[in-house]
Amino acid sequence: MGRGRAERHQGSVRRGRSEGIATRTARGAAAIARAAEATFRGFCLSDDPGLGKTLTAIAGAKAVAQQRGGEAILVTVDRPTSITIPHWRASIAAVGDGGYRWLIISPDQLKKLIARNGRPRYRFDVVVNDEAHNFRHDSQRTDYQRRVTRHLDPPEKAPFVIALTATLGHHPGEWRYLSSLLAQVHREPPQRWDELGARLVELGVPLERYMGRWQWTTEAKASGRIQADAVARVRDAMTTAEPPVMLHRDAPWGQAPIDGLGVDLTFEQRRQYEMEWGDYRREMQLARTGSDTARGRAALIRFRQKAGMIRAPHTAELVAATAERGYQCLVATEMVSTGAEPVADLLEDRGIAVSRIFGGRRDAENERLRFQRGETRVVVFNTTSAISLHAAEHLADGSRATATPRIGFFHQPRYSGIAARQTIGRGHRDYQVCPWSLLYATETIEESAATTMVDRLMVTSASVDGDTSALASIARMFNADWIDERAFD
């Protein structure tokens, strides 16, 4: 991305501001309350990042708890909990807890709410699942979440569940956290929808099971139109229910400008890169021949780690030059030891202060605030959601983050549309435009993958809308289309 494009898009956008956050929150909370009053068992709020889903959920949860005469509300939050739990606690305190008891935990702590007999220890009146897409795959924490929400019980015996996510999933088969609600809008028992993918296939959604997981059929993978139509059919069942049990609102500030930006490797770096690529292809072919998915995933991760390490000096140089032009920079990485740490170290060697939000740091919120208050010019992070890094953020103490324009860089992109969009939303929100560049080494496999990903991000909706054609294409480039696509998440 050239300097001109970045500077044309930087800064805040105030035109077209259709409604304030108070109005937006009230309307969203009212929609949640109407669904609960109509005896639906839940609601999905899928607004774009930065539209205040947290405040809407708090207001909606209090309204539902009042309707039910309840007293206990559970909130599950994404990691890092050193940021997300204080954020939710402060948000609840700011608007009032309504006299209800709130428990805020991470998905990893859900097992503490399960008794030895496998049933929930406690009864909650309302459950709020923030970043609900984290429960889209089969896992132990997804199983705990489904038990806590009593997803197979009749609606009157289950808590009202508010699902918050701007990125529903790569396809409807991943909307498992909505399976009981989908069953209800179709007037069927939740057990009928417990295996979501199978029920959707029965209804004509083009999914198939591959290596134990649901994915688009071959025909659907090749057609964005087929995918979009299928997603619309499943989604419309919720948005056209009476009253609706799903609400999505587009961000009036539009999508973030994003482009690929190639870096030229030195002769020695290119020699090393090509040697690693050769080793990777041989290892991947051996793994594929033996159907050894674990070996294949390990080879893929190892290659991406080494490629990221080779490019670290280039990323640091580009970010340093951008910061010196007066911007505050966001650097998104995937791996810590071969991405986040070397880039942060190289920047600090240049005398540039860096906030580090990676590696499970307990001081993550302090690091975030250092960046937001302008004490550091750069933040290097690997969390894809639940933190705000945008300009002019209204902070908990009443002050505001710096108005300095932000520019973001993907050093190690996650090629998943969900992860990419969540990452972009950390800086591009609340009328503050943050352009992003996806970095890659020119004339390498990374360039082809980056081009495909950027093209897909530029044309798909913020909710991903079920389009995984880019992910499938990238997997083929890496000879990894036989491995679970989550390897690229």
Distance separating alpha carbons of residues 228 and 195, to the nearest angstrom = 22
Question: pTM of the entire structure?
Answer: 0.77
Distance separating alpha carbons of residues 173 and 162, to the nearest angstrom = 19
Distance separating alpha carbons of residues 65 and 86, to the nearest angstrom = 22
Distance separating alpha carbons of residues 403 and 390, to the nearest angstrom = 9
Q: What are residue 381's DSSP bridge partners?
A: 332, 357
DSSP 255: P
DSSP 339: I
Q: What is the CA radius of gyration of the chain?
A: 22
Distance separating alpha carbons of residues 427 and 359, to the nearest angstrom = 20
Q: Which CATH superfamily is domain 3-11+252-264+311-471+484-488 in?
A: P-loop containing nucleotide triphosphate hydrolases (3.40.50.300)
Distance separating alpha carbons of residues 161 and 150, to the nearest angstrom = 10
Burial classification of residue 343, based on how many CB atoms lie within 10 Å of its CB (0-12 exposed, 13-18 middle, 19 or more buried)? buried
Distances (CA, A) of 274 to 279, 281, 287, 334, 426: 9, 10, 20, 21, 34
Distance separating alpha carbons of residues 386 and 177, to the nearest angstrom = 18
Give yes or no on whether 3-11+252-264+311-471+484-488 and 20-247 have one common fold.
yes
Instruction: Say what the pLDDT of residue 455 is.
Output: 61
Q: Which residues are CB-contacts of 43 (< 8 A; sequence separation ≥ 6)? A: 31, 32, 35, 36, 60, 160, 161, 162, 163, 181, 245, 246, 247
Q: In this structure, are residues 11 and 405 in contact, taking their beta carbons and an 8 Å threshold?
A: yes
Instruction: Say what the pLDDT of residue 263 is.
Output: 87
Distances (CA, A) of 268 to 250, 273, 315, 357: 46, 9, 17, 31
**Structure tokens, 348:** 């600090």
Instruction: Say what the pLDDT of residue 442 is.
Output: 87
**Structure tokens, 337:** 């030891």
Distance separating alpha carbons of residues 286 and 277, to the nearest angstrom = 14
Q: Which residues are CB-contacts of 433 (< 8 A; sequence separation ≥ 6)? A: 9, 10, 11, 12, 13, 253, 256, 257, 405
Instruction: Say what the pLDDT of residue 227 is.
Output: 85
DSSP 110: G
Q: What are residue 75's DSSP bridge partners?
A: 104, 128
Helix (H, G, I), strand (E, B) or coil at 52: coil
Per-residue pLDDT of the chain (489 residues; tens, 9 = 90+): 344 444 444 444 433 344 678 999 999 999 999 999 999 999 999 998 888 999 999 999 999 999 999 999 999 998 888 888 988 999 999 999 999 999 999 999 999 999 999 999 999 999 999 999 999 988 999 999 999 999 999 999 999 999 999 888 888 999 999 999 999 999 999 999 999 999 999 999 999 998 788 999 999 888 878 888 999 999 999 999 999 999 998 888 887 888 888 888 999 999 999 999 899 889 989 888 888 888 888 888 888 888 889 999 999 999 999 999 999 999 999 889 989 999 999 999 999 999 999 988 889 999 999 999 999 999 999 988 778 999 999 998 889 999 999 999 999 866 666 778 888 889 998 889 999 998 988 888 888 777 767 665 654 443 344 444 555 565 566 665 655 555 555
Report angle CA 247, 253, 256 to the nearest 5 degrees: 100
What is the residue extent of each domain of the chain? Answer: 3-11+252-264+311-471+484-488, 20-247
Neighbours of 5 (CB within 10 A): 13
The highest-level CATH class for domain 20-247 is: alpha beta
Q: In this structure, are residues 50 and 251 in contact, taking their beta carbons and an 8 Å threshold?
A: yes
Distance separating alpha carbons of residues 168 and 165, to the nearest angstrom = 6
Query: Residue type for 485, please?
Result: E
Distance separating alpha carbons of residues 39 and 33, to the nearest angstrom = 10
DSSP 349-410: HTT--EEEE-TT-TTHHHHHHHHHTTS-SEEEE---SS----TT-B-TTS-B---PPEEEEE
**Structure tokens, 335:** 């791996």
Helix (H, G, I), strand (E, B) or coil at 433: strand
Instruction: Say what the pLDDT of residue 120 is.
Output: 95
Instruction: Say what the pLDDT of residue 472 is.
Output: 59
> Comparing C-alpha atoms, which of 434, 241, 229, 480 is closest to residue 330?
434
Instruction: Say what the pLDDT of residue 6 is.
Output: 45
